[in-house]
Amino acid sequence: MDNPFVIIAHVPTDSVMEGFLPELRIKGQELRLVTDQPDLYHEYIEQGVLTPNEIVAADVFNPVAIINALTQAIIIPAAIFSNSDHLQTATAIAAEFYNLPTKNWKACYRTKNKRVMRDTINASELDSVWCRSVCERSELMMPDISFPCVVKPVQGVASEHVFLAQDNQALHEYAESYWSNAPLQPLLLEEYLIGPLHTLETIGDGNEIYILGSFETALSEPPYFIELGRRFKRNLDEQDADTLLRQLKALGVGFGACHTEFIMTKDGPRLIEVNYRNIGDQSDFLIAEALEFNTFSAVIDLHLGKPIGVIPKTSKCALIRCQVAKNSGVLGFVPETQSLLKNGCQVHFHPLCVGGNFHQQDFSNRDFLSVIYATGPSEEILSLVMEECIEHFNIDVEVDSKIKHSKEVA
Please, are residues 347 and 385 in contact by the beta-carbon 8 Å criterion? yes
Please, are residues 2 and 78 in contact by the beta-carbon 8 Å criterion? yes
pLDDT at position 143 is 81
Kindly report, residue by residue over 63-99, the tens digit of the pLDDT: 999 999 999 999 999 999 999 999 999 999 999 999 9
- Beta-strand ranges (E) seen in 282-337 are 317-324, 329-331
pLDDT at position 146 is 87
Average pLDDT over residues 289-312: 96
pLDDT at position 42 is 95
Res. 409: pLDDT tops 70: no
Task: Provide the 3-class DSSP secondary structure of residue 328.
Answer: coil
Please, are residues 284 and 295 in contact by the beta-carbon 8 Å criterion? yes
What CA–CA distance (Å, rounded) separates 101 from 116? 24
Res. 406: pLDDT tops 50: no
What number of residues does the chain have?
A: 410
Confidence of residue 400 (pLDDT cuts 50, 70, 90): low
232 sits in which H/E element: strand 227-233
pTM of model > 0.75? yes
Kindly report, residue by residue over 174-231, the tens digit of the pLDDT: 999 889 888 878 999 999 999 999 999 999 999 999 999 999 999 988 888 888 999 9
